[in-house]
Structure 1
């Protein structure tokens, strides 16, 4: 049988090696990379040696490999994420101060919601999300907001494929999801009650570009018990407008921004 790597370009093989690293596999051996990528061990050895030399991979004290800081440095320059994160951060900080839970910023990347920024605390409700994670469109606040404003072709393609149920509350029926997406477009927000973890509730709203296109999704994730979703909707909408306004202004990089959106730090005073 021909090996899985047959016909791949050199660049495709390098990408296959890098894509073996994720949240659950942050440090890997060469043999593990070979197994996860489908590349022969000798090929992985050659690629890893070059990536180590360039600083794109690093080797830990246990001899296992992990993503290098230089790769993060290069990726952090991506213009679509850089300007958006800079504009969003002051408003995300205010949301985080108000909830003391999780505040997250997503963009659409392929058929996933990519988390490009996240603020949290150790005592916050369970949340599987990390910066750089790809999250399912049908089970997360950011994913549903982005899917609701995606093209009809993409929606049809996504909804025609099987969807994983993470909890009993996760919507996986295409007809139900179409109703959810229509409501998001009409109401301008979504509430995900235990869609991906049973004890968490997410609330999300779209983020618009100055020209009016949906370019991202902003969300908070809070405990289900005692949650008041509409309080968070109001705060998220204010934040979204603030981000849109900030995107329309020249970015000031010589000092920290000090935009305060909420004068209080608890939900009752929002």
Structure 2
């Protein structure tokens, strides 16, 4: 049996060429990122490493389906249909359950508020609230990805991850910043154990946001699995741990309760 691939190629139903078409399609979608939201066909070709003719065929299919939209200037961007599909991912249910609590925390603290999940050795922001008064929105808007060891919210997620994830995070940090030398695994293990025991993490100033500090706490499912973390970020001079820690922990616990009562739809993310 033969079927038509997304780029119009006729390929065996179970053959390698069909998987190759999927790979090309994913490479085209992967050409778009936070710094490249709108791309021409030649730009997609350059960033994906695929010939323009191939890009043209696949982009036409993606555009027809709604995964890509064509702008008035001839460039392409991610389409609404792909956003609708992405909204079916587990983190969408988490964000929906958490949002009222995050809004309340932002209102009470006037600080930037984030909800993040773990994906491998990175934390991924799935919700972010800020009035941009302190210039953190550009770095932490929804969809931003940051190494776990670089943020307070990442430390909370890593503290509740398995040993393999900790080793991978240390290796990734050493590879990304060879000038810093080897990560002190023993010191990190001690710090993560403290985070687990106390139920929160504090960093002031935040190592990634110069001049800013943060407080983060874990979000748990009914089985005790940490699926996400809530954090507030504020200029270090305004950081008041004695005031913020109880509020962040209370919000994380409120989100945890909402997740547990959300019809059982929540699943573990970033295992």
**Fold equivalence (TM over 0.5):** yes
CA distance in 2, matches of 1:234, 1:72: 35
Q: Which structure 2 residues correspond to residues 67-86 of structure 1 after superposition, within 5 A?
A: 67-78=78-89, 80-86=90-96
Residue 240 of structure 1 is aligned with which of 219, 243, 252?
252
Quick check: 2:149–2:169 contact (8 Å CA) kept in 1?
A: no
2:8 counterpart residue number: none
User: Could you tell me how far 1:179 is from its partner in structure 2?
Assistant: 3.4
1:150 counterpart residue number: 161
Give the structure with the higher percent helix: 2
User: Could you tell me how far 1:172 is from its partner in structure 2?
Assistant: 7.4
Quick check: 1:105–1:217 contact (8 Å CA) kept in 2?
A: yes
User: Could you tell me how far 1:134 is from its partner in structure 2?
Assistant: 1.7
1:15 counterpart residue number: 26
CA distance in 2, matches of 1:110, 1:9: 25
For structure 2, the 5+ residue unaligned runs are 1-15, 264-271
SS at match of 1:23: coil
Quick check: 2:120–2:165 contact (8 Å CA) kept in 1?
A: no
Structure 2 residue 193 is matched with structure 1 residue 182: yes
The total of aligned residue pairs comes to 242
Quick check: 1:101–1:220 contact (8 Å CA) kept in 2?
A: yes
Change (3 A) 1:50 1:172: farther
Quick check: 2:147–2:169 contact (8 Å CA) kept in 1?
A: no
CA distance in 2, matches of 1:14, 1:194: 38
1:256 counterpart residue number: none
Residue 50 of structure 1 is aligned with which of 53, 56, 61?
61
1:126 counterpart residue number: 136
CA distance in 2, matches of 1:218, 1:201: 14
Aligned-pair RMSD on alpha carbons? 2.4
User: Could you tell me how far 1:196 is from its partner in structure 2?
Assistant: 0.8
1:195 counterpart residue number: 207
TM-superposition CA deviations, 1:154-206 (whole Å, max 9, x none): 211221232546xxxx9973434333322212222112323112122121111
Moved more, 175-184 or 218-227: 175-184
SS at match of 1:62: coil
User: Could you tell me how far 1:222 is from its partner in structure 2?
Assistant: 0.9
Quick check: 1:125–1:223 contact (8 Å CA) kept in 2?
A: no
Change (3 A) 1:76 1:171: farther
TM-score by structure 2 length? 0.81
CA distance in 2, matches of 1:111, 1:37: 24
CA distance in 1, matches of 2:241, 2:222: 27
For structure 1, the 5+ residue unaligned runs are 1-5, 252-270
TM-score by structure 1 length? 0.81
2:114 counterpart residue number: 104
Moved more, 117-126 or 135-144: 117-126
Quick check: 1:115–1:132 contact (8 Å CA) kept in 2?
A: yes
CA distance in 2, matches of 1:126, 1:82: 23
TM-superposition CA deviations, 1:46-103 (whole Å, max 9, x none): 221111111111122221111111111110121x213211221111011110222311
Quick check: 1:189–1:204 contact (8 Å CA) kept in 2?
A: yes
Change (3 A) 1:172 1:133: farther
Change (3 A) 1:250 1:129: closer
